[in-house]
Amino acid sequence: MALIAIGGFPGAGKTTICRRLSRAFNLPCLSSDTIGRTIDGSRGIKDGEVDTYRIAYDVLFRLCEEFVESGASVVLDMSLGWEFHWRQLDAILKRHPQTLFLPVILRCSHAKCKERLEARHRAMPGMYAPPAYFRDERKVREIWEYLQDLSRPEVRYVDASGDVEHVYEKVKQYVISRMPKLGRSS
């Protein structure tokens, strides 16, 4: 089984690529943003400060491990832009050494990400943060810096500046090259 983790800065195209991989290979997809929005919108969250995205990551990693423990492959949609992401993934892989780990980081210019974030916000302003958030929020800027400096030998870096079809094909072919059985199911 495989743990396919697609990361990158907001606007790099992670969610689009993850959803397509999930459909093409009939694999579950866990998205930190979807889980975070679900927690954030829950009526169970009452007055008080709650770090919904930290909770979302805890849920994502636990569900990921549940899939791996049951022998199922899974696609993760998250930035991979924090050290704690890698510590969690490394711990899962240590407990389940039979797991094939396929981390992919989508990279494109900051200007390209900004352009995509603006378009996304215009299309669905109630769902997506305004582009200024990604420019002004310190923790988001730290994700960009972390991803620029990330150097892990197992990571496949993919240029995500082109059209989504081209990027998807590059990622899909990489996954198939590492898991030939998947290629027969798409």
List helix spans (H) across 26-109.
Answer: 32-40, 52-69, 83-95
Assess contact for 113 and 160: CB atoms under 8 A. Answer: no
Instruction: Judge whether residue 127 has pLDDT over 80.
Output: no
What value does the mean pLDDT take over residues 38-65?
88
What pLDDT does residue 128 have? 73
Bridge partners (DSSP) of residue 6 are 77, 104
What value does the mean pLDDT take over residues 32-57?
86
Tokens in use for 110? 């900051």
DSSP secondary structure letter of residue 128: S
Q: Which amino acid is at 32?
A: S
Helix, coil or strand: residue 108: coil
What value does the mean pLDDT take over residues 50-67?
94
Instruction: Identify the domain containing residue 73 by its residue range.
Output: 2-185
What value does the mean pLDDT take over residues 123-148?
81
Least Cα distance to 108 among 5, 2, 1, 14 occurs for 14
CATH of the domain at 162: 3.40.50.300
Distance of CA 139 to the CA centre of its chain: 17
Tokens in use for 92? 């899962």
To which H or E segment does residue 148 belong? helix 138-149
Tokens in use for 93? 């892989």
pTM beyond 0.75, yes or no? yes
Tokens in use for 16? 């689009």
Across the chain, what does the average pLDDT equal? 91
Helix, coil or strand: residue 75: strand
Number of domains observed in the structure of the chain: 1
